[in-house]
Chain A
């Protein structure tokens, strides 16, 4: 067994109990449930934010922004109400970790939100949950009912003056609503389109009030930080400036796919694939890994000796994103894969800004043509140029998410594309 698997974990032992872990009783008895909230309510809001800053907790949704700093941006005084919004849209292809938190330990999320509410001075929290998660939305509602019944949510929580309400809001299945400002628009009942920034949500978010938008896992980490201290949480991580454990969704051609919990930066991708997930299906060779959900630039089999964490991955030109590792074995067609990924982004583009609306579909069409054996030599240069024209030029990050994979696939697996173009068909077919 890999030593990283023996490190302290926060979630996975409870996930293993599955439905048994969900009720409030279990949470109170086995997980010190709502003790962190009680403790936090005795702390000053600034103390809580300091503790979170010390913990080196970085956003688990994809951007990896330091959570404490994000909370610190919320103005102390505001004429408008402040809001805590949980981004439970988990729509990045390959990511399925938040689902387990909502299924098995929903109270962690609720407690984390209430603490965040106290820290920034919000009385209302929204959980914006992905439309496809119908079961999870119901389970969250049940958990919220349990918490209200015991006085962990609602008016005058635990005998203090603090009141906090949480509402579950279901999305309608758009990927773009995982982008925080599109999420806020959708939450307000508008079309799910990203907003122009600035103003950032911390200044004018939901209903134009200062708003903190955090991922499910980020908020669920908060009770641990309050209970055991920011420094303890920070030490869980094995690399600098990255605290805690990471829930990693592994999918693709590995023997043991699933959700893993490992200390941040404890393993390389090679260790993760071979030692922890049991290697490639059918003991084939590894062709590629996509390290952070489908929007992360791809890595070849030679590039996997890199520590699996935010900054090491950024250094080699890709990203950890939502910690969704997708593994591709040698006999899978890379052209087909990138075409499928690009089709997803073209389909999910909101259509507001020019490069993303026009460019993603164009890339999809060209890739489709190459895969069908109608590619031309100049198509590869064209793809790289379209991707470059989208990358960094769009209103939100969806353009980058679509462009990054295309340019990395074309650069790193050029031979596969050329084989399609010259052979006029897919060599794997």
Chain B
């Protein structure tokens, strides 16, 4: 393997590797703004400029007179790179000053604060003193649709968003208009964003210019507790990070996994967690009351649920948003408690079995809008095609995302899991279970890849884990003393 020398450290590289990445391998961090490993290199921010030299014919290294941008300099055999010389440090300081002269420095009210590249690099490489006394450049703001809030004054013109649109999302909607000092990054004709991947614009923005409307002014980044997990939005299983504070999931961010989702996440997956803390979610055991569902104790709800299914021809519907652990537990439970019942899995209208699942777009999305369709099939569950004739009651399990099938012909429905009040209005009993953010478990994606989801928050309200609910049910309450 060819070698180069970065800050006196020998490092091997494969040709084609980016110098910034090569430097990381020996712990040398070269600061940058416009570079992104998934996007074309434009060498615009000039922050990553370093001194570069090549050995001449006689072997002595001649350093180039000008600084070279590390992002656009391919490493070569014998190349010598210096990232801490006086010249390099002065350039970093100067680029920081240039970027900040027109930046509003409104970090105290900026959502990006605490996870902002501009802030971090300013702290590390900038100067606390500023020489600029002229008027700052300002722009009018633009509404970019429901996902992204733009604040052009904070923009440092790195053009990552433009490149993300054309190169990843496959849509040319972000552009630069005007030129020079007046350059504005905007959408074509000021139209709202159209891509289903708009949230990524906020992720790749190195400053607070593009932020998520949904997360605006909600939480300071440093108060959020982060849990690595996997998205339950479709059968791809994109890697994510759930950010919670006070047992509320505030946002979902993509977590890099080059084999599944790379750096990206679709908007559906990103905003999927909103239902977890929704005010309409049924989080107490409930039975029909005088005006809709009424909260009762676990013992009463369990008793009523059991009684309403007693001796009836039963169909069991299992959401393909349950984990492998839950689904296999359930199998044992059903075999013992309801050996005659017909059992099906359900999840997405029009997707009956794993064979119906396919790519829904060219980027990430899959047609199955639940996470564990492929896992449930592996466990031997059958796809739901309609209630068998003569069904008198339905026992419904749901993780939170599976699309409810039409149950209008079933007279008795008992729901276990996550339901909204309006969905469960006609149920005979609701036993609240955990959403995917409230439990650990395994899901299997469309490629058969098993991934762990992790609990980010405790079960909301009086919800209990499915294993606990099943145990209570099987033990008839009281018998084991657990109720």
Contact = CB atoms under 8 A, between A and B. Distances in A.
Interface string B251-264: 00000000000000
B100 to A, nearest CB: 9
Interface string A362-393: 10011001000000000000100000010011
Contact of B95 (A176, A196, A354, A361): A354
Contacts of A264: none
A350 interface: yes
Given A196-B72, A362-B101, A392-B66, A357 B94 contact: no
A357 B157 contact: yes
B239 interface: no
A141 interface: no
Nearest to B131: A382
B176 A395 contact: no
Interface string A393-405: 1110000000000
B41 A354 contact: no
A350 B94 contact: no
A359 B156 CA distance: 13
A351 B181 contact: yes
A127 interface: no
A85 interface: no
Contacts, number: 90
A352 B180 CA distance: 7
Contact of A366 (B72, B134, B178, B181): B134
A365 B67 CA distance: 27
A191 interface: yes
A395 B101 CA distance: 20
Interface string A220-238: 0000000000000000000
A357 B41 CA distance: 19
Interface string B33-44: 000000001111
A350 B159 CA distance: 13
B181 A393 contact: no
A170 interface: no
Contact of B179 (A351, A362, A382): A351
B98 interface: yes
Contacts of B95: 354-355, 393
A382 B134 CA distance: 13
A365 B134 contact: yes
Contacts of A348: 180
Given A196-B43, A362-B132, A362-B134, A351 B157 contact: yes
Interface magnitude class on chain A: 20 to 34
B180 A355 contact: no
A202 B42 CA distance: 19
Nearest to B175: A191
A355 B41 CA distance: 18
B219 to A, nearest CB: 31
Interface in B181-195: 181-183
Contacts of A365: 134-135
A349 B180 CA distance: 4
Contact of A354 (B72, B90, B99): B99
A353 interface: yes
Nearest to A347: B180
Main secondary structure on chain B at its contact with chain A?
loop
A384 B397 CA distance: 72
B285 to A, nearest CB: 60
A393 B46 contact: yes
Interface in B75-133: 90-91, 94-95, 97-99, 101-102, 131-132
Contacts of B131: 382
A355 B156 CA distance: 11
A394 B90 CA distance: 14
Looking at chain A's contact residues, is the secondary structure mostly helix, strand, loop, or mixed? helix
A346 interface: yes
Contacts of A174: 179
B94 A361 contact: no
Contact of A349 (B44, B137, B176, B181): B181
Contacts of B6: none
A136 B73 CA distance: 41
A25 interface: no
Nearest to B42: A196
A298 B280 CA distance: 74
A355 B33 CA distance: 14
B181 A354 contact: no
A116 interface: no
Nearest to A392: B66
Contacts of B135: 365
A354 B156 contact: yes
A283 interface: no
Contact of B98 (A349, A355, A382): A355
A369 B183 CA distance: 23
B44 A352 contact: yes
B154 to A, nearest CB: 14
Contact of A358 (B47, B102, B159, B179): B102
B54 interface: no
A369 to B, nearest CB: 8
Interface centre among A174, A354, A365 (most CB of B within 10 A): A354
Contacts of A354: 44-47, 95, 98-99, 156-157
Interface of A: 174, 176, 191, 196, 346-355, 357-362, 365-366, 369, 382, 389, 392-395
29 contacts: A174-B179, A196-B43, A347-B180, A351-B176, A351-B179, A351-B181, A352-B42, A352-B157, A354-B99, A354-B156, A354-B157, A355-B95, A357-B180, A357-B183, A358-B98, A358-B99, A358-B102, A361-B180, A362-B132, A365-B135, A389-B90, A389-B91, A389-B94, A392-B65, A393-B46, A393-B67, A393-B91, A395-B44, A395-B46
Given A352-B159, A357-B180, A393-B49, 10 more contacts: A349-B181, A350-B179, A352-B157, A354-B99, A360-B180, A365-B135, A382-B131, A389-B94, A392-B67, A395-B46
Interface of B: 41-47, 49, 65-67, 72, 90-91, 94-95, 97-99, 101-102, 131-132, 134-135, 137, 156-157, 159, 176, 178-183
